[in-house]
Homo-oligomer: A and B are copies of this chain.
Amino acid sequence: MNELKESGFDAAKTVENGNKYLLGNGYLGYRGTLDEFGASECVGLNIAGKYDGVKGKWRETVNAFNPFYMAAYAGGIALDAREKNVAFHEVALDIFSGLFKRKTVFDVNGTSVTLKCERFVNMASKSNLCSRVIITADKDIRLNIKAGVDTDIWELNGPHFKDVKTKISGDTITASGTTQELGYRISVECKYSQRIENFSGGFGYINADIKKGEKFVLDRVAFVLFGEENADGESYDDKLKSHLKEWERLWSISRVYFKDDKRAQFALDYSIYHLLILAPKGEYSIAARGLSGQTYKGAVFWDTEIFMLPFFLNTLPDCAKNLIKYRINTLPEAKKKAQSYGYGGAFYAWESQDGYDACSDFNVTDVFTHRPVRTYFKDKQIHISADVAYAILKYYEHTGDDELMLAGGLETVLECAEFARTYSYYNHVKDRYELLDVIGPDEYHERVNNNAYTNYIFYNITKRGVELYEKFKKAYPESAVKKLKEWVEKLYLPKPDKNGVIEQFDGYFKLEDVEVEEVRSRLKHPNEYWGGSGGVATATRVIKQADVIMLFNLYPGLFSKEVQKANYEFYLPYTEHGSSLSHCAYALTACRIGKTDGAYKAFMDSAEIDLKGGGKQWAGEIYIGGTHPAASGGAWMTAVYGFGCNKEKK
């Protein structure tokens, strides 16, 4: 199966399909919406890593102006999928060629009019995207088309553009605007293959009479210009050719095969598609919702390092290097963040926008009071620094890239360790260092002590960092390394209890012993937040996502299979999977302990999340919808590291 395909139009699926049929080239993302759609249907042309903040609102990536707006009329009747005269409607995404296709047949007072569209975000380019519209009819008919660059765009926390200007020059329409905060001038240029008349406000008109059986073709070749690249004179077909060639190359490197399981094969192919459309084209990184929009502020989370990096390490190491360099480049901001809290070393942004921590102190809005809730993700989710260090070490393990290690890699690892050292307190009664007042991956339990995931990963990255220092003897003061060495030997690591279970954090076992469904039944509002002080999960053992289990995936050899099994069985019933990172974490561990049924189910939950339009859409009153590239990465890891590397059977 090459294509994701869907017949019939359902207005309720507009937002979901925008994500599901997303196009992208690692720099630009174009949502799977229809030509006749606008801001209210969440049309989005998202740009990676270009941020803007409007006063009093969250800073986020900007959506560029939409070059592909078109409202077509045949015989005076709108060719609009939402209208009643639709005889047939279908959208499709060819994941092997990165092509979005749309076909709608209209009954225009007895004339059958067919509107076809093909669209791609050019994988061989950074700033190019193209659209081809073909209209045919079974009788002669008059076409009137309004088309142009739509500057009325979907924004969560906008408006991001001021001084918006539109112009036409020959067959090219340009809209440009300046971002509010940093004053970037962004232009969207779109070259038309048909003559535009009566241009005004970004839009013009194309009028044509088509004969029965004749094709009306409108090609549009667009560029999002930021100073990086210039529009060129290539045609739609030229662009398509280079685009398809690049896709062929990417798949030849990255495809993974299932034997005799078409559903799993397509789910994995679809996951890989979503990773490939995010492969960065420079030293920037990948947002948690990829290029599907502004959700989560377009910020970079630990998702990239822990869930997506392995795919790139194994397929596109240059992209992996970009991801790593993004973190090395933002080391100064991480050091500043640590300083601002009174610590040493590097405390990476929980929600990184070029190193700036976009995480709000109030990340959730209470659904009952509509009031922001103080959350501690930014202040206390310190494992982000360990995750960054882990990723660098993983990159080094794969590549042996001494050069990068000396050019900031090792320094970053050791600064992350140093942060943990200065964050830690010494328990003088028990003679050990502890990491207090943190949040682990399970965000439903804020401000806990000695989160196992956090302590173990800091322990391991510090040990390895210090070892590598012995090799390089460079990139860090020796006296600081000495302190780290002494510290790490006394860092507390929570051990498995007599049943083999590692307590997620101090006191977790004392929490109310109820499972997910019981806690879910206590909800009084479908979108209410499960964590925080008043959340349904807070005082219970119910966790948002894999936490101890995730640790096993980072260090599969650290604990025996028995311990991994005991924890898997213990924690699974308490896990809500409220994060898309959760299923694949269980899937990977399930593979190692021979729970193949559980692994397969969790793999499919992870790989199909965007196919099913799943995942949580709301955290309190905050919209968090979009694609889930970490789940895609997790599906890939499960296939390769899990199914591919574990031969044990239950």
Asked if A90 is an interface residue, CB under 8 A from chain B, the answer is no
Whether the pair B425, A427 counts as a contact (CB closer than 8 A) is yes
Asked if A436 is an interface residue, CB under 8 A from chain B, the answer is yes
- Knowing A344-B429, A447-B447, the reply to whether A533 touches B374 (Cβ < 8 A) is yes
Whether the pair B425, A374 counts as a contact (CB closer than 8 A) is no
A229 to chain B, nearest CB (A): 43
- Indicate which residue in B344, B426, B449, B534 contacts A534 across the interface (CB closer than 8 Å): B534
Bound CA–CA A533/B373 (angstroms): 7
Bound CA–CA A534/B535 (angstroms): 10
A438 to chain B, nearest CB (A): 12
Number of this chain's copies in the assembly equals 2
- Knowing A533-B373, A533-B532, A534-B373, the reply to whether A428 touches B425 (Cβ < 8 A) is yes
Bound CA–CA A426/B433 (angstroms): 9
A495 to chain B, nearest CB (A): 16
Asked if A169 is an interface residue, CB under 8 A from chain B, the answer is no
- Knowing A532-B534, A533-B374, A534-B371, the reply to whether A436 touches B447 (Cβ < 8 A) is no
Whether the pair A429, B422 counts as a contact (CB closer than 8 A) is yes
Q: Which residues of the partner chain B approach A447 to less than 8 Å between Cβ atoms?
A: 437, 447
Q: Which residues of the partner chain B approach A434 to less than 8 Å between Cβ atoms?
A: 425
Asked if A369 is an interface residue, CB under 8 A from chain B, the answer is yes
Nearest residue, chain B, Cβ from A341: B507
- Indicate which residue in B428, B446, B532 contacts A426 across the interface (CB closer than 8 Å): B428
Bound CA–CA A576/B361 (angstroms): 23
Asked if A60 is an interface residue, CB under 8 A from chain B, the answer is no
- Knowing A429-B422, A434-B425, A533-B533, the reply to whether A538 touches B374 (Cβ < 8 A) is yes
Asked if A387 is an interface residue, CB under 8 A from chain B, the answer is no
Within A199-250, the residues touching B (CB, 8 Å) are none
Asked if A88 is an interface residue, CB under 8 A from chain B, the answer is no
Within A403-438, the residues touching B (CB, 8 Å) are 422, 424-429, 433-434, 436-437
Q: Which residues of the partner chain B approach A369 to less than 8 Å between Cβ atoms?
A: 368, 524, 528, 534
Bound CA–CA A621/B532 (angstroms): 19
A589 to chain B, nearest CB (A): 30
Q: Which residues of the partner chain B approach A532 to less than 8 Å between Cβ atoms?
A: 533-534
